[in-house]
Structure 1
Amino acid sequence: MLEDGKEIPLPSDLQSYSGQFKLRIPKSLHRSLSIHAKEEGISMNQYCLYLLAKNDAEYKKERR
Structure 2
Amino acid sequence: MAEADPRQADYAIMVEPLSEKDGGGWLATVPALPGCMGDGDTPESALADAANAIAEWHAAAKAMGRDVPGPAALGQWRQRVPRSLHEKLKFVAAREGVSLNAYVANILAESIGRTG
Superposition TM-score tier, normalisation by shorter sequence: 0.5 to 0.7
Normalization by structure 2: what TM-score? 0.37
CA distance in 1, matches of 2:80, 2:95: 23
> Structure 2 stretches of 5 or more lacking a match?
1-17, 23-28, 33-68
Count of aligned pairs? 52
Q: What is residue 91 of structure 2 aligned with on the other side?
A: 35
What secondary structure sits across from 2:112 in the alignment? Answer: helix
CA distance in 2, matches of 1:48, 1:18: 15
CA distance in 2, matches of 1:21, 1:56: 18
Deviation (angstroms), 1:18 = 5.4
* Higher Cα radius of gyration: 2
CA distance in 2, matches of 1:56, 1:27: 25
Instruction: Verify: 1:57 aligned to 2:113, yes or no.
Output: yes
Q: Which has the higher helix share?
A: 1
What secondary structure sits across from 1:23 in the alignment? Answer: coil
Deviation (angstroms), 1:56 = 1.2
- In structure 2, what residue type is equivalent to 1:47? Y
Q: Which has the higher strand share?
A: 2
Q: Percent identity?
A: 35
Residues 12-62 of structure 1: per-residue CA shift (max 9 Å, x gap): 4865x651011000000000000000000000000001100011118xxxx
* Bigger relative CO (Cα 8 Å, ≥ 6 apart): 2
Normalization by structure 1: what TM-score? 0.63
- In structure 2, what residue type is equivalent to 1:39? R
What secondary structure sits across from 1:57 in the alignment? Answer: coil
